[in-house]
Structure 1
Amino acid sequence: GRRRERLGAGGGGPSRLCPSTRKSTMRQTEVGERTSAPAPSPAASSDAAKSAGEVPGIAPLDVKLLHVVGHGGQGAVYAGCWLGTAVAVKIVHSARARAQLLSEAELLSKLRHPCVCSFFGICHVSCKYGDGQGVVMELLEISAYDFIHRRADHGGVEPSLCLRIACETAKGIAHLHRNKCMHRDIKTANVMLDQAQHAKVCDFGLAVESACFDVGDAQPTGLDAAPGGETVRQHTAGIGTPRYMAPEMVLESGDVASHRLVYDESCDVYSFGMLLWEVMHRQVPFAGKSGIYVAFSLAPSEQRPAVSLPAGFEGLEPLIRSCWHHDPSRRPSMAACVEVLTVCAKSSIPHAEDVEEGAAD
């Protein structure tokens, strides 16, 4: 099968040096030439573009592609190097995918936050899959999905660390909502961890800059799914990953064109409730059942996973249940989720200031 994309960015920590800068022996499958003239730091370049209100462009010769870390029908993701910084370069080829990628870049350029993947710019690149448009972000090694579930097979992850990951994810989503942006595909596979295991929300391919979104107008072009269910495309009613999808995003008839559903940021809150359950239980929600069955049968009938939290973390149950409430108006805001999780984190993590650092508004 296709390898899942792994990309993301660190927000507040020091930039990682690319392998070539460290004189690594990593094999390079695609290499671009570096310009000899000095250039501004990645952070300064991104901040300058942000203040100018533009999507920053990157000179193709400043980017080296090292090796493929994921590829699919619409494009590929490379590990690479830009001005001495390790980056992920997400490359697409079709006109439709390029339009979506540009939209994603425009959102990322406005959403700079320690708990949201950092974005450096866009560039035109050539690789073995052909020429295409690329989005350049700081490289991260592992998704929250892989970290939690792979570690679960080798002794597991401490509940306090799981809670920190959830708390930082909530802060990233809350930042999106403050900026009138819905992610619409919140799941553990779309949360990346840096080397210090701090969480960053990533993959904005389905995000929209709107306080309210009409399903009838949806044109989803999401990449193939990571574990937990395939990403729903235009031929179904909802947008996102079925296992994590809010009930109001699903039409029983499956007919998008003849129905007009309006939903808001609370759909992300529902998905976050599933994510919070998953990281604290270290299990996939409704494991063993198909994502489509969960979305079209279990979720609409108000069935939810059984809650059995680790000792000392039982206080999270009311938050989990309120996040995935069937009535969107009864769900808390992500800002309220952050408040609850921060209090819980301070009482369970010895160095709770690590959670607060990089969580500023």
Structure 2
Amino acid sequence: MIRSVTAVDERVRQRIPNSSFGAGKENSIGAMRAAEFSSRLNECLHSRCEIVLAISVRHENGVRHFMVNQDSDGSFYCEHHHEKSVSDLVSFYTTTKTPLSSSSGVRLKRPIERPQWLLNHDAIRLVKKLGEGAFGEVFLAEYSSGNEVMQVAVKTMREEATREARLKFMKEARLMRRYEHRHVVRINGVAVHEHPLMIVMEFCPGGSLLSHLRKEKGKLSSSTKLRFAIEAAEGMAYLHKQKCIHRDIAARNVLLSSKQEVKISDFGMSDDKLIVKDDKLDKVPVKWLAPETMQEKVYSNKTDVWSYGVLVWEIYAEGAEPYAGFSNLQTRAKIVAQDYRMEMPKDTPSSVSKLVVHGCWAKNPSDRPEFSKIVKTLKGKA
């Protein structure tokens, strides 16, 4: 009986070692040199998730993929030769120079080292659930790296999630790996060799900015509110410089460090395109959307600026709901048809109010300032 390597077989898990070679789908296979190889766990494609192990080898002018099968006794093989573990199988083909298949004549030479961002599930211990979403949960966890154990946040993906949800999950991780800034949540890596799939990232003990604003209502100084606005703008200025459109800027998606520093988070809707067209607006937070998104279903760096304006309103309103008393449909009608703009809370500095109402919320996207200019303007008021 021949089996592929499935995600639900504990015996198989134990037989796949934490090898120093190998990569997930993110590895740059196109950059391989001749005879370089990596072992890869291909993405789950079906409603019942199945993990398929393959060895990818640079050969002549292309990359060849060889399926690793599992026999009924638990051993692994590519064509005829069996070994008790994948690591032993790879070692056999590397040391003996035996072709992976008689028809291909492909031999293994140099392994591609496992990238640091590809983590092992064994190094992650889930401690406490922090939240729950449509396709998974977020946990406080401990991550062991060498002799160091650190607190991290872990975002998980349920095994029964759709293929589309899994692709979005991995895209979020891929985007986050590119970013390193003091006001953007840092990713440690991903764990994809078992279930649940995990994104491991910086833990922010201060929780969400929205919760903090509501908890500290009436206690926050004007300088603290301004600092929150500046730090969020600095994080967004960095992301835009990296060609990232966040698409979901709001106080609920901003976290606070142990020192109450702002960290932009939640890249589930983010993209690395200049303009994004998205016809699915049925489940998006309408009250943070720019008018052109409501009308034309487009996102850009300028729609992020509009949403940031709503975030600043939330900061000075100490976590109140924007457009209170209006439904999503009413909010859309007032913004699009009536050019309605909210008044800023009464203790907002006039210069900040002007920046938001006449800058961030300008009807014409080209009239909205870049985040670099927003930072300079706000710092001039600090």
TMscore range, shorter length:
0.5 to 0.7
Residue from 264, 267, 277 that aligns with 1:201: 264
Amino acid at match of 1:77: V
Equivalent residue in structure 1 for 2:152, among 87, 91, 94: 87
| Aligned pairs for 1:95-244 within 5 A | 95-124=163-192, 131-141=195-205, 142-152=207-217, 155-216=218-279, 234=280, 236=282, 240-244=284-288
Q: For 1:319 and 1:244, how far apart are their aligned partners in 2?
A: 17
Give SS of 1:205's match.
coil
Instruction: State the shift of 1:199 in Å.
Output: 0.1
Amino acid at match of 2:327: S
Q: How far apart, in 2, do the equivalents of 1:59 and 1:116 lie?
A: 24
Contact 1:125 1:134 in 2 (8 A): no
Matched letter for residue 143 of structure 1: S
Higher strand share: 2
Report the equivalent of 2:301: 265
Residue deviations 1:35-76 (CA, integer Å, cap 9, x gap): xx9x9xxxxxxxxxxxx9x78111111100011111233111
Q: How many angstroms apart in 2 are the aligned matches of 1:204 and 1:246?
A: 18
Decide whether the 8 Å contact of 2:247 with 2:299 is kept in 1. Answer: no
| Per-residue CA distance 1:20-43 (angstroms, 9 max, x = gap) | xxxxxxxxxxxxxxxxx9x9xxxx
Give the Cα separation in 1 of the matches to 2:138 and 2:298: 33
Cα gap change, 1:171 to 1:77, in 2 (>3 Å)? same
User: Gapped runs of 5+ residues in structure 1?
Assistant: 1-36, 40-51, 217-233, 252-259, 346-361
Amino acid at match of 2:173: A
Q: Residue 344 of structure 1: SS of its match in structure 2?
A: coil
Shift in Å, 1:125: 7.8
What is the alpha-carbon distance in structure 2 between the residues aligned to residue 157 and residue 291 of structure 1? Answer: 29
Show the 5 A alignment for 1:318-357.
318-321=354-357, 322-345=359-382
The two structures, once aligned, show a CA RMSD in angstroms of: 2.4
Normalising by structure 1, what TM-score? 0.68
Which structure has the larger Rg over C-alpha atoms?
A: 2
Supply the distance in 2 between the matched residues of 1:92 and 1:138 (Cα, whole angstroms).
Answer: 18
C-alpha contact (below 8 Å) 1:91/1:134 kept by paired residues:
yes
Give SS of 1:110's match.
Answer: coil
Contact in 1 for aligned 2:244/2:271 (Cα 8 Å): yes
Residue 294 of structure 2 corresponds to which residue in structure 1? 250
Secondary structure at the residue paired with 1:192? strand
Q: Which amino acid aligns with 2:197?
A: Q
The answer to whether the Cα contact below 8 Å between 1:104 and 1:204 also exists between their aligned partners in 2 is yes
1:357 corresponding residue in structure 2: none
- 2:116, 2:340 → 1: CA distance? 43
The answer to whether the 8 Å contact 1:119/1:136 transfers is yes
Instruction: For 1:208 and 1:240, locate their aligned partners in 2 and report how far apart those are by CA, in whole Å.
Output: 15
Q: TM-score, normalised by structure 2?
A: 0.64
Do 2:281 and 2:297's aligned partners in 1 also have CA atoms closer than 8 Å? no
Cα separation, 2, equivalents of 1:317 and 1:73: 36
CA deviation profile, 1:234-274 (whole Å, cap 9, x unmatched): 263xx8421111010013xxxxxxxx654421000000111
Q: Which residue of 1 aligns with 2:121?
A: 60
Please give the alpha-carbon distance, in whole angstroms, between the structure 1 residues aligned to 2:246 and 2:181: 15
The answer (yes or no) to whether the contact 1:88–1:138 under 8 Å persists in 2 is: yes
Amino acid at match of 1:162: K
Supply the distance in 2 between the matched residues of 1:280 and 1:324 (Cα, whole angstroms): 16
